[in-house]
Structure 1
Amino acid sequence: MSTLLAERELLNSQPRHHWTVAEYHRMGDMGLLNEDSRVELIEGELIEMAPIGSSHGGEVKYFNNKFVSLLQGKVIVSVQDPIILGGYAEPQPDIALLRWRDDFYRKANPHPEDVLLLIEVSDSTLRYDCDVKVPLYASHGIPEVWLLDIQNRQLEIYRDPINGHYQQRDCRQTGKIAPILCPDAVIDLAEVFPNL
């Protein structure tokens, strides 16, 4: 075994401090995380977020525009904003459909019970989103997650979380789909994956 590999294994076996959501917020309040820091708190660890490319940004803008036009005044469409999942996680999904609140969540960030749908747009982060974020969302009872796989031009739909696992998984490249809790918000995948 190489020395470098042995050092990595030793480092990975060492206890780590898991940051709480409160500590994470204090770091921001103290200026340790500046406005340009693109990090999210996942299971107590600060994870650097990938840069947003034009395809990724375009898909986020598409979903934002579509959901706002279809659901205005019924739900809050949140774009790349934090969702508090327990004491050690505050991810920033690309799109969240949230239960309507007149205060627009000014007093506190949303929690799992506020979420109707989360969408993650994946281009360079597909494996991470599949292996880390989707299970995190399932373990906190998020009712539905859409994972938009830009590279393979498909939408993975996860529904019905039980005991930390989604019971339903569907994968589509064509057709129309609506969130289970917002059935009037029909998305045509021909618009999501146009023939450019």
Structure 2
Amino acid sequence: MSLSLITRKFTVEEYEKMATEGIIKPDEKVELIRGEIIKMSPMGTRYASSVDRLIQLFYQKLGQKIILRVQNPIRLNNNSQPEPDLSLLIPRSDFYVAAHPCPQDIYLIIEVSDSTLDYDRYTKISLYAEANIKEVWIINLKEECLEVYRYPLQSSYQAIQKYYRGEGIFIESFPEIELTLIEILGNIY
């Protein structure tokens, strides 16, 4: 006989109320994925320097064309509010003060992955595809490459491609701006 446990899922509203009421502490690094509160991995130096490099790169290349949201929430639906490493957003004068950005506000999501690579590839990518996020990048620190996911359909992406040093890439929403993989990956050791 197998025992099947029933779990209770949370909505974004309940999750935010837990944070407001102090049930989730301000310094806790968690995100809401499919109704479950998921503890986020600690940040290593390679990971942190990669995020910093990308912040500088996107400000230099795109400036006022985007709002660059760093490790802050985006609301995908009623039960998922992840905190991607970087979100390139459509600019708004209110900087999304009334509500977190939704899928239609997002040009690109970037996840920097080392110890979280499988989770990002299989859980987060399908979540983003289901929400119709048009483009997602995974900075794959293990394989020292960029994984690009485009054209969502249901829970997957129709175009998946890896890029390595020496190659160039553009963001689908900004085809006029080419980025090199050296700029994106830097010197990964």
Normalised-by-shorter TM-score class: over 0.9
**Who is 1:106 aligned against?**
97
Larger-Rg structure? 1
RMSD of equivalent CA atoms? 1.4
Residue 174 of structure 2 corresponds to residue 182 of structure 1: yes
Give the distance between the partners of 2:70 and 2:34, measured in 1 at CA: 21
**Who is 1:50 aligned against?**
41
TM-score, structure 1 as length reference? 0.91
Contact 1:19 1:88 in 2 (8 A): yes
Taking the TM superposition and a 5 Å limit, the aligned residue runs for 1:65-104 are 65-104=56-95
Contact 2:46 2:188 in 1 (8 A): no
Give the distance between the partners of 1:145 and 1:182, measured in 2 at CA: 14
Q: Displacement of 1:195 after TM fit?
A: 6.3
User: Which segments of 5 or more consecutive residues in structure 2 lack a partner in the other structure?
Assistant: none
Aligned length: 187
**Who is 1:41 aligned against?**
32
Q: 2:122 aligns with which of 131, 139, 162?
A: 131
Give the distance between the partners of 2:161 and 2:188, measured in 1 at CA: 23
**Who is 2:164 aligned against?**
173
Give the distance between the partners of 1:104 and 1:186, measured in 2 at CA: 26
TM-score, structure 2 as length reference? 0.94
Residue 181 of structure 2 corresponds to residue 194 of structure 1: no
Q: State the AA in 2 paired with 1:183.
A: P
Contact 1:76 1:100 in 2 (8 A): yes
Give the distance between the partners of 1:179 and 1:136, measured in 2 at CA: 20
Give the distance between the partners of 1:177 and 1:84, measured in 2 at CA: 27
**Who is 2:108 aligned against?**
117
Give the distance between the partners of 2:174 and 2:132, measured in 1 at CA: 17
User: Which segments of 5 or more consecutive residues in structure 1 lack a partner in the other structure?
Assistant: 1-5
Q: State the AA in 2 paired with 1:194.
A: N
**Who is 1:3 aligned against?**
none
Give the distance between the partners of 2:144 and 2:27, measured in 1 at CA: 30
Q: State the AA in 1 paired with 2:91.
A: W
